[in-house]
Structure 1
Amino acid sequence: MNDIVLGDVTITRVMEYFGSVEMSPATFFPESPDTAWRQHQSWLAPDFLDSETNGCRSALQTWVLRSEGKTILIDTGAGNHKERPYAPVWGHLNTDFLGNLARAGIAPEDVDVVVNTHLHVDHVGWNTRLRDRTWVPTFPNATYLMPRADFDFWNPANGHKTVFGRGNQNVFEDSVAPVHEDGRTVLWENSYRIDGNLTLDLAPGHTPGSSVVTLESGGDRALFVGDLLHTPLQFIEPDINSCFCEDPVQASATRRRLLGWAAEQHALVLPAHLAGHGAAEVAREDGRFVIKEWAPFDRV
């Protein structure tokens, strides 16, 4: 099953990629103790950890929401044919992502809104596609919602020094600027109401403009959290950050705050990169967060 319904919103999981990200836990999550990975290896492997290679496994997936008659995409993965010299795992891909969208009943022209939770290489790639030798918006009728803080931070003209170094090279030029120049972007600040069911709010730390989409419809709640978490180990060890977090202290505080809200509201938490069932509900037990239940999406 790749569709679930929460309140009046249908959520569809559309995959782009699943596999190794060519990083060990110690590299990807430098603050994480090796004992934590060993303690939880029985359930982290094989979906999130390759026990044989000690490599992290990750998914690129787009959450498709159908709400109030509109089709909304949350994050657009890595994209095809992109030049990524300092992020080679995401470079020169040739996936059937658009075919997967089509099998979910969605043509590019059907998309009304694209949400980029932040502007990292693996969240904006399908914003554009190559037509002849020009990058053009993949979703020609969509409004692209981008956090202004990230738009300014990742614009190479502004010369910001980043933890990511050159890992985002070419991304602004081929996946952000073309849709902005086409007049398709809304650069929002602080918060943004998408519709009666969905809101966007800043959740900084991973990047200055990292954001989350909150779904509140009927009695159901969900949080689409982008890169708030890269591994489910961060559900239960929320002070562990990835090596890509621009402000690790703020990232940990944001993670704890949002996981606390999710536990209190019985909200489903949907990160961008979890394989397996892709999402989970969390709870508090003895002052700690625990995974209460995995989402009913099919495992990948």
Structure 2
Amino acid sequence: MSTPLATDPTAPSWTVGDVVVHRIDEVLLPPATGPWLLPDATPEVVTGQDWLRPHFADDEGILHLHSHSFAFALGGLRVLVDTGIGNGKERANPAWHKLNTDYLQRLTAAGFPPDMIDLVILTHLHADHVGWNTREVNGEWVPTFPNARHLTSRTEREFWAGYDMEEARRQMFRDSVIPVEQAGLLDLVDVPAEGVDVVPGLRLLPTPGHTPGHIAVELADRGQAALITGDCIHHPVQLAHPSIGACVDIDPERSEASRRHLLDSLADTDTLVLGTHFAPPTAGRVITHEGAYRLSPVPADSH
């Protein structure tokens, strides 16, 4: 089982215009995650990028990966992007199985109690992004955020509806997706090529490939912008080597194309990139580097 991150009463945050984006930590993923998830990110490839150390990899080329969410208030809404792995879930991946973390306490401490969340955006429907959609109450999985609209791409939900799922994935849908649907809280959004605004300053961008309906999330306020990657980019090593894909990409070629297009749009701009699985400092700006890109880290705001 993964070890929870050390408790920090103040969630790390970044300021985008007047919007404060909080990172809500769940778990540090075990060292075996990197070689499994990104098999082409070999130690030789990783150690060839000095800028990855010490934050994003160790001296032996082992990747650092985290599970966390992002929470912020925008346009009068309290928004949560992705909901992590969740507690007490039966999972085939031992790093995700039957977790017991203080995620909800961290979320509440950051100013986002579960019953006050207005909007949950799900970049895609994988187990480590939907887990806190529900929590167990009296032996049943019930919505954790009962007053929130839950948004995901229509393409995403319809793909999985027609997919021949293995039992582990069926279990994930049973405990983390279907209860939200049955409560009438899941809204499916059509996301065209140019993206779609949810509310002013909050935009969903199509980044298909990892899953067919995968989306990234862009927020903008007072001339500043940030982008939450979801799993279009799992780790900063993919900035240096955009051809490196995840073993679980549904369409690897399309995933790479989405990643390259996104990185090209972000390169040498002031847009703050917030990686959904990036280890601390988690955020940075994309800089062109040696024919590809690197991440220039932006530490969390000091409090």
Unaligned runs of 5+ in 1: none
2:82 is equivalent to residue 81 of structure 1: no
User: Is the Cα–Cα contact under 8 Å of residues 29 and 67 in structure 2 kept in the other structure?
Assistant: no
**C-alpha separation between the residues in 1 aligned to 2:301 and 2:236?**
17
Aligned residues: 289
CA deviation after TM superposition for structure 1 residue 167, in Å: 5.3
2:107 is equivalent to residue 97 of structure 1: no
2:264 is equivalent to residue 260 of structure 1: yes
**C-alpha separation between the residues in 2 aligned to 1:235 and 1:110?**
36
Q: What is the TM-score normalised by the length of structure 1?
A: 0.89
2:20 is equivalent to residue 14 of structure 1: no
**C-alpha separation between the residues in 1 aligned to 2:30 and 2:218?**
29
**C-alpha separation between the residues in 2 aligned to 1:274 and 1:34?**
18
Of 190, 197, 200, which aligns to 1:196?
A: 200
**C-alpha separation between the residues in 1 aligned to 2:106 and 2:229?**
22
What's the counterpart of residue 71 of structure 1? 78
User: Is the Cα–Cα contact under 8 Å of residues 5 and 11 in structure 1 kept in the other structure?
Assistant: yes
For residues 7-26 of structure 1, what are the alpha-carbon distances to aligned partners after superposition, in whole Å with 9 as ceiling and x for unaligned?
2322111101114152353x
CA deviation after TM superposition for structure 1 residue 35, in Å: 2.6
Instruction: Return 218-227 or 176-185, whichever deviates more.
Output: 218-227
User: Is the Cα–Cα contact under 8 Å of residues 226 and 274 in structure 2 kept in the other structure?
Assistant: yes
**C-alpha separation between the residues in 2 aligned to 1:24 and 1:72?**
29
Q: Secondary structure at the match of 1:168?
A: helix
2:34 is equivalent to residue 30 of structure 1: no
One-letter amino acid matched to 1:270? L
CA deviation after TM superposition for structure 1 residue 99, in Å: 0.6
Unaligned runs of 5+ in 2: 1-10
Q: How do 1:171-250 and structure 2 match up within 5 A?
A: 171-190=172-191, 191-250=195-254
What's the counterpart of residue 118 of structure 1? 124
Please tell me the root mean square deviation across aligned C-alpha atoms, in Å.
2.2
Of 44, 47, 61, which aligns to 2:52?
A: 44
Q: How do 1:112-191 and structure 2 match up within 5 A?
A: 112-155=118-161, 158-160=162-164, 168-190=169-191, 191=195
One-letter amino acid matched to 2:14? I
CA deviation after TM superposition for structure 1 residue 67, in Å: 0.5
What's the counterpart of residue 57 of structure 1? 64
Q: What is the TM-score normalised by the length of structure 2?
A: 0.88
User: Is the Cα–Cα contact under 8 Å of residues 268 and 286 in structure 2 kept in the other structure?
Assistant: no
